[in-house]
Amino acid sequence: MIIKKCLVCGKEIETFPCEPHKRFCSRLCRSKMMPTGKNAHNWRGGKIKKTCDVCNIEFYSFPSQNKRHCSKKCFYISKKKDKLPLNVIKDEYGYIRIWSPNHPKLGKVNKYVTRSRLIMEKYLGRYLKSAEIVHHINSIKTDDRIENLKLLNRSEHARFHQLRNNSNKQTSIP
């Protein structure tokens, strides 16, 4: 047996040689010594300051919550401003998503699927495969006319954007 002193209260502690890490006599003493709040070892961040898209009032929310509005009132005002029904949202990338909970290929944003994908599926008469991507020809993400949509696989889509980005870089150099 090894006898040590508690780092907080100085009380003697009896420990075994296999417990060299024991430094406190109780959980209460341990909690007094451990940092709290932002200094704690398990701090994952807290609420961050954001600005409402409608009324420009600052509000706080967790980073994992993609909130853009300070209240439900501002949320509904923005829906009216965008002229979108309640089962339709505009995601952070600018795509319009429609609530379809029974769709086999659900998006990242809860049970919403991009409108362009639904339009292409209706045009083809089948569900799209996960490797198929709907590309907007004019690069306007909200223009979901069938004339503006093109069905590509992942490699074709990546190659198209790579070629477009390379041509933009070459034309911008004098």
What does the radius of gyration of the chain's CA atoms come to, in whole angstroms? Answer: 28
Tell the residue number behind the tokens 């339709």, with chain if given: 88
- The pLDDT tens digits of the residues spanning 44-103 come to 667 888 888 888 889 888 777 778 888 888 887 777 766 666 678 888 788 888 888 788
Tens of pLDDT, residue by residue over 114-129, are: 899 999 999 999 999 8
Model confidence, pTM? 0.49
Whether residues 88 and 76 share a domain: the answer is: no
Asked if 74 and 129 sit in the same domain, the reply is no
d(CA 15, CA 31): 19
Write the pLDDT tens digit of every residue in 4-58.
Answer: 888 888 899 888 888 777 888 888 888 887 766 666 665 666 788 888 888 888 9
Across 146-165, b (16+ Cβ under 10 Å) vs e yields eebbebbeeeebeeeeeeee
Strands (E), the chain: 2-5, 12-15, 48-51, 58-61, 88-90, 96-99, 112-114, 132-136, 149-153
Q: Which domain holds residue 112?
A: 84-172
Domain presence at residue 39: no
Is 40 among the domain residues?
no
In a shared domain, residues 88 and 164: yes
Q: How many domains would you assign to the chain?
A: 3
Position 171 scores a pLDDT of: 45
**SS3 state at 51:** strand
Residue 162 within a domain: yes
